[in-house]
Amino acid sequence: MTDPKTRKPRTKRSRALSWEGNELRLQLALEATGDGMWDWDLRTGAAYLSPSYYALTGYRPEDVTPGFEFFRQTVHPDDWPGVLAIMESHLADQSRESTIEYRMLTATGAIRWIRGRGKVMERDADGTPLRMVGHITDISQQKKLEEALHVTEARYRMVLEDQTEFIARCLTDGTITYANEVYCRLIGKPAEEIIGYRWQPVAHPDDLPMIEARLAELTPANPVVTIENRIIDSQGEEIWVQFVNHAFFDAAGGIAEIQVVGRDITLRKGIEARKDALLEENSRLARELIDLQDKERAHLARELHDELSQQLVAIRAHAAAIRHRAASGDTRLLADAEAIEASASQIYAASHRLMERLHPQLLDNVDFKGALRVLLLDAWLEEHFDIRTTLRLAGNLNAISNEVLVHLFRVTQGCLNNVALHARASRVRVFLGERLVAGQRVLRLVIRDDGVGMDPAAAQGGLGLRVMRERVGKLVGSLTVESQPGAGTRIAVEVRVPPAPRG
């Protein structure tokens, strides 16, 4: 090998100077970082320690003899076996270099964490190591941070493991990266059989499309999605779980990981199912009750007509005959006959009003407009002459089924009763009309008053409004209430019915 400047072969002296220069530069660089450099002559056992090395140990150069024993003196006894094993392995040429972390005992008794790196630089022809050099770095601060991190992680894991909720983390494809003990018990498998596998097989197959669609909603602007779905537990049972899915995103905005916290809501779902079943049963019973009421009303109306009205007609006829025969001169007999006739007429009129309220005969004749007018202009206005009432009807309202007629008639009747009892209104308006929506007839009933109004939320539990809703529900329609205290009330009913002319 030649010297690049003189083009002459390098001598051993020039190579030594070159090596010493490199070593000096390395030492200066290490001194600048605070690392300590060492150079160990394995033939004599003597060692060179840099000033920074002494500074890290706390010893003065004049107080110690650098070498193997001094090095052993500075290593914590508990760490020495591991340190020695790594050194011997490298000296036996079983590794390219030795890297060790150990606790250093300083001159004051303080402990520093040290990372040491060393390498055999010279070996003889038999491979025996002759010289080894290296450096040490103080990593005490790093170890403190690692220890704090371990403590924090341990506490975090303790929190996760102590939770009663199911906690897991997974990738976007469903691969599980962490699962707490509660989650493992739920699935019935140890963590090692869960981590690395996907969660999808645990979910109920019918719920998977919904779950995947909801998870697709996760974005940096919407990082949390709550999903309620069924899973199959370790016993093969189907249970309901509410999962709160929190996505964590990388710098590019993609999902790096999803944290899942779940809780068993099977009991709640069961209660909700029973509540829904009870509500449906109540609705069914209410509809049946309405049907029974309507049938009973019609039956009572017929009974009144067939029994009471006939008897009243007979009384009136007898009273008229008595009056006719008494016309010859018996004034007392004439007065009695007139009194009987007047009472019978009043009872007859009252029974007919009762029959009309129970089941208007006009409905049997499919004269719905007429029935509403009689209800409003006769019965209603007779009793509530102080409330200005208007009725507007539009469309061919007679060409609908009797069931629809009866229910709309009763809803109107119920609304007017509420106005009379609660509204303190001076005006009420009733509108009933029809329109075509996508080829289907839609009947619209609107009752509006200018009374004291109400809180619609508080009124929902009223019996009268519930019965009206059930009637509209039987017609597969909708009923809405718009009202404010002091601003009157508006009730609107919409019912879709197919054309059903009656012959």
Please list, in sequence order, all residues whose beta carbon lies within 8 angstroms of the beta carbon of residue 356, skipping any fewer than 6 positions away: 374, 375, 379
* Range in 8-17, 29-38, 307-316, 359-368 with the lowest mean pLDDT: 8-17
User: Is the dihedral angle over the CA atoms 146, 148, 153, 154 positive or is it negative?
Assistant: positive
Report which DSSP code applies to 477: E
Query: Residue 372, SS3?
Result: helix
In the numeric block, the tokens 């007139």 are attached to: 338
CA–CA distance, 197 with 180 (Å, rounded to integer): 15
* pLDDT attached to residue 154: 64
Q: pLDDT tens-digit profile of 236-278?
A: 888 899 999 999 999 888 999 999 988 888 888 888 878 877 7
338: Cα within 13 Å, side-chain hemisphere: 8
The CB density around residue 162, as the number of other CB atoms within 10 Å, is 10
Q: Residue 120's pLDDT band (boundaries 50, 70, 90)?
A: very high
Q: pLDDT tens-digit profile of 45-98?
A: 999 999 999 999 999 999 999 999 999 999 999 999 999 999 999 999 998 899
Do the beta carbons of residue 448 and residue 429 sit within 8 Å? yes
**92 versus 362: which is more confidently predicted?**
92
* pLDDT attached to residue 442: 87
> Which backbone phi and psi does 428 adopt, to 5 degrees?
-140, 140
* pLDDT attached to residue 145: 84
Q: What is the mean pLDDT of residues 322-347?
A: 69
**275 versus 344: which is more confidently predicted?**
275
The CB density around residue 500, as the number of other CB atoms within 10 Å, is 12
* pLDDT attached to residue 350: 65
Q: pLDDT tens-digit profile of 375-392?
A: 666 667 777 888 888 888
Count Cβ neighbours within 10 Å for each residue of 87-125 and write b for 16 or more, e otherwise. Answer: beebbeeeeeebebbbbbbeeeeeebbbbbebebeeeee
CA–CA distance, 267 with 274 (Å, rounded to integer): 11
Among 368-372, 444-448, 483-487, name the most confident range.
444-448
- Beta-strand runs (E) in 42-144: 47-49, 98-105, 111-123, 129-138
pLDDT reading at 490 higher than 80: yes
Do the beta carbons of residue 214 and residue 228 sit within 8 Å? no
pLDDT reading at 4 higher than 50: no
CA–CA distance, 380 with 371 (Å, rounded to integer): 12
* pLDDT attached to residue 2: 42
Q: What is the mean pLDDT of residues 405-417?
A: 83
Q: What is the mean pLDDT of residues 176-203?
A: 88
Q: Residue 476's pLDDT band (boundaries 50, 70, 90)?
A: confident
Pair of tokens at residue 471: 């009637």
Q: Residue 458's pLDDT band (boundaries 50, 70, 90)?
A: low
Q: What separation in angstroms does the CA of 368 have from each of 300, 404, 412, 446, 454?
A: 21, 10, 12, 16, 30
Query: Residue 211, SS3?
Result: helix
Residue among 41, 84, 89, 87 at smallest CA distance from 66: 41
pLDDT reading at 502 higher than 50: no
Q: Residue 19's pLDDT band (boundaries 50, 70, 90)?
A: very low
Residue 44 sits at the vertex; the CA angle it makes with 41 and 48, to the nearest 5 degrees, is 40
10: Cα within 13 Å, side-chain hemisphere: 13
Residue among 340, 376, 343 at smallest CA distance from 357: 376
Residue among 368, 362, 455, 378 at smallest CA distance from 416: 378
* pLDDT attached to residue 279: 75
* pLDDT attached to residue 312: 66
Residue among 212, 208, 181 at smallest CA distance from 195: 181
CA–CA distance, 201 with 216 (Å, rounded to integer): 18
CA–CA distance, 408 with 495 (Å, rounded to integer): 9
* pLDDT attached to residue 23: 54
